[in-house]
Structure 1
Amino acid sequence: MPISEDRSPVQSEAGTMPEEQRGFRRIAIASLVGTLIEGYDFVLYSLAAALVFPKVFFPSLGPAAGTIASLATLGVAFVGRPVGAILFGHFGDRLGRKRTLIATVTGMGLGTTLMGLIPSADTIGVAAPILIVVLRAVQGVAIGGEWAGAVLFVTEHAPKRRRGLYAMFPQLGHSMPNALSAGTFLLVGLLVSPETFLAWGWRVPFIASILLLAFSLYIRLKVEETPVFEKQRKRGGASGVPLFQAFRKQPRTILITAGVPLTALTFVYVGNAFVANYGVESLGLSRNAVLAMGALSGLAFAGFTVLSAVLSDRLGRRPVIGGSQILGVVWGLVLFPLLGTGSVAAYGLAMCLTMAIAGLGYGAIGAFVPEQFHTSYRYTAAGIAYQITGVIGGGVAPLLAPVIISAQGTAVFGIVLAALSAVAAVCTFCLRETMRDDLDWERAAETRHNPIASQGER
């Protein structure tokens, strides 16, 4: 149900909730739950790749090579993410946000559940890692189409003055899994022995994903299409191929916007994948201690995601996101010296601050990225811009971390993290502030001004 900006969603005199607020609650829950399952499945794999898969699916390679091979499978999904952004973006811009989001969450949920059923390499040999890679690719394609659709579904329903706040819900769905996935793994690890955990205990969180999928489908089937998309469809919808439209009309905006999530995604995936493995293998911390600190840092990520979204409606998108990226430059140089002290407390502090800085930018990104693009190709353009960053920050950075550190040391990789944050800050401040922009570009065409865009990008 569309929400009018002229009506505040407050309770009526009779104490009942008006239809606008009930409609938005369904939309918010649908976006949060959908991205929650996508994020849970994706982060769960990252943790398993760092802590379990080297022994289960790559045992013949040995600890070091097995870890590198296992973390390399993370990159398969990040190659699939741009493919998913293009594929689902096409259908999302032409057929609608709702139907496309149902397809993405189904692919993600089924892929993750099947991962929990794959026999180990000791049982079926090389077929085991091949199946893991295939299902990881399915995850990548699904989540590549999920993010843009989820944030568009909320922002295109939302009042302009509170768009940042409403975009918090899908972002929160992606930030909460850092605590949920680590907490689930930790709970299973506490209930069974380390040997049992490796034998079958790690499979329980994967198979349980089917329950989240069922709930997500139930919620998403009950919500309506966005009013902004419906207006665009009545005006003729997307003509031609949205991908070609986007790169013909706003090529520079896509490329610059791709740098905006760089700090948030790099910090999240380096923290969840590489730092978790680094804590166990290099610092000698117990797996349960690492998982406990991972769950705690996930709460920090979620809390700062909320703060980021709220501040973005008051201060603007650019100051909030850019501020987090400037902090990221400093933190990239501090992270590994702090981890090097080797204590659980230092590890926990390092993880919490890493995720807090990521969250401080992440919440506002949910509104800022889609606000840059025209409705007729917004799903495609926003998805591609975001997923380009996903390949670098989520796929390449965790894979390069052990290579760079083993060859050059932790200080060099810290400089890499700082440099990526510096690039992200430059990209953010090159874009216009969008806090007061109208998402219906046809209505705002006469007044819109884009300082980085040519006349062809309007």
Structure 2
Amino acid sequence: MPSLASSPPVAAAPANPRSRVLLASLIGTTIEFYDFYVYATAAVLVFPHLFFPAGNETTALLASFAVFGAAMVARPLGAIVFGHLGDKRGRKATLVGALLTMGIATFLIGLLPTYPTAGWLAPALLVMLRLAQGFALGGEWSGAALVATENAPAGKRAVYGTFPQLGAPLGFILANGLFLLIAALLPSDDPSRPSTAFLDWGWRIPFLFSVVMVVVGLWVRLSLVESPAFERTVRTGQVRRLPLAAAVRAHGREIVLGTFYMLATYVLFYLMTTFSLSFGRAAPTGDVPGLGYDYTTFVLMMILGVVFFGVFTMLSGPWADRWGRRRTLIAVTLGIMAFGLLWVPMLSAGTVGVMAWLILGFSLMGMTFGPMGALLPELFPANVRYTGSGIAYNVSSILGAAVAPFIAVALWRIGGGSPFWVGVYLSAMAGITLLALLVGRETRDVDIEA
């Protein structure tokens, strides 16, 4: 872990203009989370109907979530490969490569044949492209966070670090807004199932549209120059031949701590997005009872909650710069633990309670997610920062995200439709994160160029 400075270092003027840094860090993660939400929504609405054999609806949903989880398994591998390139060749070229890989994979999903047309080849191709998405995403977040934090002025790293995090709520609104528009133009007579036109071709539009966003992202990122931190690493001869080996050998503790710092964030994130969409739309009298909202109503409610996600993501940056990353996140994690125990009374209080649940959950999501853009990069020195922060972020995606939909659905079934045990699961994961934060150290005053 880089040494603590006795006082915040005086940073040189950033090599990249502020507007370019913030836009470059924001655009890539917006595309990343747009792609995630497009797949997550399709995993609930479309893929169980089109990419798996007809039969038990719960089995088809779990199979769709399994493909979703495949990307999480590929993400640590992407973090290693792109981290190696980012720590040896520079942040700029690596970010461009990750964005291209992600955009091409997402676009091709929109062109896939379905199970009735191609049989098992259809889900096999879906898995391959989902793995490619995950591989690219493994290198995207850490690169975007480094662009923001390594170009931030002194005392503003957490504020700058919230811009890549802001891509999550923006991506949600773009993806689900586009799905809502398509669903409105292609209405269904059955509120529990998309229309025939939507299943035939409408679902493909959000995947194909991602190419437009990728072009914009490439244009912004190609105009960047390397950060002062990486240039200093090259100039002083500190580039490591094998960044992964150097990171694990010298900073294994920070990798483990960073992984568990992110655990509660990931579990909360996927429960409030993917699981909630299934739970909110499930019929109150079905095999596994849910809230019974139609798709349009519930997604609009979620979008309102996501507005609070964005607001509190931005507020968390100044808080983390003022009070420190560790103190801020300890308070928020305690809030997540309490929130998990409030699921049943809130979700039993009608639409007002459900809306309060969404707003509170997404607000906590913003407060825990925002500081991570600065905290994880600050755990590592510049010569292994891309690799170390990427591994911590993406290994946590397996522990907290890849398994979360399965655990949540299983606990939902065990509870006979009650979300009680799902909330307890969230509180337990937050407890693990709290322990990691208590063991860890404050990173606000580290020298980011060291």
C-alpha distance in structure 2 between counterparts of 1:245 and 1:236, whole Å: 15
Instruction: Report the Cα offset of residue 6 of structure 1.
Output: 6.3
| Cross-structure match for 2:386 | 379
AA paired with 1:65?
A: T
Are 1:307 and 2:307 counterparts?
Answer: no
CA contact (8 A) 1:285 1:344 kept: no
Are the counterparts in 2 of residues 179 and 297 from structure 1 also a CA contact under 8 Å?
no
Superposed, which structure 2 residues align to 1:421-440 within 5 Å? 421-440=430-449
Identity %: 37
Aligned length: 426
Offset of residue 121 of structure 1:
1.3
Q: Does 1:76 align with 2:76?
A: no
Ranked by relative contact order (alpha carbons within 8 Å, sequence separation 6 or more), the top structure is: 2
3-state secondary structure, aligned to 1:305: helix
**Correspondence 1:114 to 2:114:** no
Task: Give the aligned partner of residue 264 of structure 2.
Answer: 263
Which residue, out of 317, 323, 328, partners 2:336? 328
- The answer for the alignment partner of 2:160 in structure 1 is 166
Picking from 147, 154, 176, the partner of 1:153 is: 147
Give matches, 1:52-63, under 5 Å: 52-63=46-57
**Aligned CA-pair RMSD:** 1.7
Counterpart contact for 1:30–1:216, Cα < 8 Å: yes
- For residue 327 of structure 1, report the CA deviation from its aligned partner: 0.5
Distance 2:399 2:357 in 1: 22
CA offsets, 1:402-450, max 9 Å, x none?
1122124532222111010011112123211111211122xxxxxxxxx
Cα distance in structure 2, aligned partners of 1:237 and 1:56: 51
Pairing 1:417–2:426 present: yes
Deviation digits for residues 366-385 of structure 1, max 9, x if unmatched?
10111011111111011111
CA distance in 1, matches of 2:226, 2:18: 12
Q: Secondary structure at the match of 1:436?
A: coil
Which residue of the partner structure matches residue 128 of structure 2? 134
Mapping 1:25-424, distance limit 5 Å: 25-194=19-188, 195=195, 196-281=197-282, 282-341=290-349, 343-409=350-416, 410-424=419-433
d(CA) in 2 for partners of 1:110, 1:298: 27
Q: CA separation in 1, counterparts of 2:397 and 2:79?
A: 11
Name the CA distance, whole Å, in 2 between partners of 1:206 and 1:346: 33
Q: Is the 8 A contact 1:280 1:286 kept in 2?
A: yes
Contact 1:160 1:437 in 2 (8 A): no
- d(CA) in 2 for partners of 1:357, 1:227: 33
Which shows bigger deviation, 353-362 or 410-419? 410-419
Residue segments in structure 2 that go unaligned for 5+ positions in a row: 1-8, 189-194, 283-289
Letter in 2 for 1:368: L
Amino acid at match of 1:186: L
The 1-side partners of 2:302 and 2:105 are apart by: 24
Whether the 8 Å CA contact 2:73–2:398 is kept in 1: the answer is yes
Q: Which amino acid aligns with 2:321?
A: D
Instruction: Name the SS for the 1:42 alignment partner.
Output: helix
Cα drift, residue 122 of structure 1: 1.6
* Structure 2 Cα separation of the partners of residues 351 and 424 of structure 1: 22
Aligned AA (1:411): F
Question: What is the CA–CA distance in structure 1 between the aligned matches of 2:266 and 2:254, rounded to whole Å?
Answer: 19
Confirm or deny: 8 A CA contact 1:331 1:354 kept in the other structure.
yes
